Structure 1
Amino acid sequence: MAGIAERFSERPTVSTFPNAAAASDERLAHLRAEVALFMRDHVLSLVSHDLRSPLNAIHSWAYVLERKLDAADASAQRALAGIRSGVEQQVKLLEDAVDKTRAETKSLPLERESFPIRAAIERALDDARRALLEARGTAVEFDSTLDAERCDGDSERLAQALWTMLVFASEASAPGSTIVLKTALEAGVWRSEVAFTPNLATLADAELPHALEPFARTQATAPREAGRIAWVLALVQRVALAHGGTFEQGTMNDAEPTSLVLRVPLSAQ
């Protein structure tokens, strides 16, 4: 099935039966909660890492000062002890409040099985449409040559990752825009790319429908250090790494096309 290009702007809505609607709402709430959970852990990881470097430097300089200061100077020794005590308290706080909080979700267990890639993609597309794309009038151009190909991995986690990419692209695009989802196999790797043109004002526009929480959307517009991603995309990165794959976020400049790229090996790593 070469050269497939489909548009997912108008698809049948979920069944109107109460049980089906309730199940759909529950699933979307779960997806949003997962994004928030992974973002929290990502932020805590950054806090733990970024605070330890200056604390280690302060601790090292305290030893330098100790060799320079007069051991008989009681005031200087009290000041030095205060510096060391402050560093130790901060390190303990990181260990107790940050590292222990992340302990339960630090590793990402996968339920691996061989699954049809196309089915996972379509599930992510359908969930994204119900969560935000339909309300925003976002159309998805689906460009894929995939048909019956399979992947050895966690289909639910990978569908969550694709859902997050699609919803984020819609959040960051003007209403009525078209985003492009391209998927293909490249040398034993399943590659998925979501391309869109950011309209950064839409992320903070309270009048528009949103699926992601305000803090996540606001942070996504902040400048990023090289190699770092927007915090709200932490789930995608964690899922990619757990599968031995990679995730890349392009530069987010207003009105300049960009993309999100997920690569996952077809076989277990």
Structure 2
Amino acid sequence: MTTSFSSAVEPGGAQQNDAAAAGNDGVLVLDAAQHCLSADAAFAHIFDIDSARLTGRALTETPLPKPLAAALAEAADAALAGNGIRRAQVTIDDDDSTRSFSILALPSNESVTLIVSPRAGASPTQENTERIAHLRAEASLFMRDHVLSVVSHDLRGPLNAIHSWGYVLERKIDAKDPAAQRALAGIRSGVEQQVKLIEQSVDTTRAETKALALSLAPVAVRPLLDKSATFARSSIARQRGVTITVESLLAEEQVEGDAERLTQMLWLMFAFAAEASARDSSVQVTSNIEGNMWRTDVRFTVSAKALTDASSPHVLEAFARRQALEPREGGRIAWAFALCKRVTEAHGGAFEHANIADGADVVLSARIAVAGM
């Protein structure tokens, strides 16, 4: 058995190989003490283990191969300690076979998500597999921070109201009534504790994506579209029987942007559309320069069954797919598109989407400023 471990870096030179890639990578979530919080069906299938034998158990007490458990533990510890994405590789020598896996560790405040991908050897297909795992991790990271932002905002309103009504009650209640004064003190203390919790545990956890740093350079638009479509086909569309068609007259046009972030944005739009489409349907992508904006629209017809069917392959987390179908409050975006929103806004543009409902014809629209960012 051999194990290698390394810190995550932005992958360079990703192959634009359109061969079938993973889609069979599994997801395991551990808490800070390395107890299994959840394991998806793909992870259980890879190792032929009932997920019920994982959930709630310490990693060392699970029936997972010991070399794998050790690599998972090391990657999880490093990710949590460094508050950043970490990668690892492990090779398991069985009696009659050798299996290799790539591990991607994505930390959050009190847990770490581990994406385990079977390796087929050092090949363009494997590089594509690892690239897609990285895209999934980035989408999850931005979605986590977006949800925390929503929680922080939505909790402060009620807490401010409770605080204000506390002062109103203070003027109305007899100052000599000890029971009433204890009740008021309890209200004020509770509000202060909740505000402190928000500031220390919620707001600070968002620091990784709160300020989005960009590496700006002239970027050719058409290769970005084609590469992102290739990743989306490999990661989900081909397995779901969905066709992604890119229609664009763009050829040599460029924008001043961060090529890596723009690829992540486009892949997420294409991949979500493929996940939300019924088998044998089509996702239509159009992309053009309009004035001082580069605009890309992704059109598809929503199938709620395709989006939520646990037996079908997926690249996005189950709770995000379910949340996308809920009515939007105040025009907010679905959580799954947090990365798209942040990337477009950082490039002087905007991201919009129509309501995602079963049977609806939906357009995801990203606009990026061409100049003057």
TM-score tier by shorter-chain length is over 0.9
Q: Which has the higher helix share?
A: 1
State the match for 1:195 in structure 2. Answer: 299
Q: Does 1:95 align with 2:199?
A: yes
State the match for 1:8 in structure 2. Answer: none
| Range that drifts further, 68-77 or 137-146 | 137-146
Shift of 1:116: 0.5
- Provide, for residues 204-259 of structure 1, a one-character-per-residue CA deviation record: whole Å limited to 9, x for no partner: 11221111111111111111113211101100001011111000011112212111
| Range that drifts further, 194-203 or 133-142 | 133-142
State the match for 2:225 in structure 1. Answer: 121
State the match for 2:171 in structure 1. Answer: 67
State the match for 2:216 in structure 1. Answer: 112
> What does 1:1-269 correspond to in 2, within 5 Å?
12-13=18-19, 18-269=122-373
Q: 1:129 and 1:194, CA in 2 relative to 1: closer, same or farther beyond 3 A?
A: same
- Provide, for residues 185-212 of structure 1, a one-character-per-residue CA deviation record: whole Å limited to 9, x for no partner: 1011000000000011111112211111
Shift of 1:17: 7.2
Using the alignment, how far apart are the partners of 2:338 and 2:362 within structure 1?
A: 18
Using the alignment, how far apart are the partners of 2:306 and 2:136 within structure 1?
A: 19
Using the alignment, how far apart are the partners of 1:230 and 1:12 within structure 2?
A: 29
Using the alignment, how far apart are the partners of 1:81 and 1:218 within structure 2?
A: 41
CA RMSD of aligned residues (A): 1.5
CA contact (8 A) 2:296 2:365 kept: yes
Shift of 1:18: 2.9
Structure 1: which 4+ aligned runs deviate by more than 2 Å?
14-19
- Provide, for residues 137-183 of structure 1, a one-character-per-residue CA deviation record: whole Å limited to 9, x for no partner: 11122111101000001111111101000110011110111010000
**Tell me, what secondary structure is at the counterpart of 1:191?**
strand
CA contact (8 A) 1:14 1:20 kept: no
**Tell me, what secondary structure is at the counterpart of 1:196?**
strand
Shift of 1:22: 2.1
State the match for 2:79 in structure 1. Answer: none
CA contact (8 A) 2:18 2:233 kept: no
| Range that drifts further, 51-60 or 99-108 | 99-108
Shift of 1:26: 0.9
Using the alignment, how far apart are the partners of 2:263 and 2:142 within structure 1?
A: 15
CA contact (8 A) 2:354 2:362 kept: yes
| Range that drifts further, 203-212 or 65-74 | 203-212
Structure with more contact order per residue of length (Cα contacts < 8 Å, sep ≥ 6): 1
| Range that drifts further, 96-105 or 110-119 | 96-105
Paired AA for residue 142 in structure 1 = V
Using the alignment, how far apart are the partners of 1:212 and 1:206 within structure 2?
A: 11
Using the alignment, how far apart are the partners of 2:305 and 2:20 within structure 1?
A: 30
| Range that drifts further, 133-142 or 54-63 | 133-142
CA contact (8 A) 1:132 1:167 kept: yes
Paired AA for residue 210 in structure 2 = K
Shift of 1:267: 1.7
Q: 1:14 and 1:222, CA in 2 relative to 1: closer, same or farther beyond 3 A?
A: closer
- TM score, norm. by length of structure 2: 0.67
Using the alignment, how far apart are the partners of 2:354 and 2:127 within structure 1?
A: 34
State the match for 2:37 in structure 1. Answer: none
Paired AA for residue 87 in structure 1 = V
CA contact (8 A) 1:153 1:268 kept: no
Unaligned runs of 5+ in 2: 1-16, 22-119
Shift of 1:104: 2.6
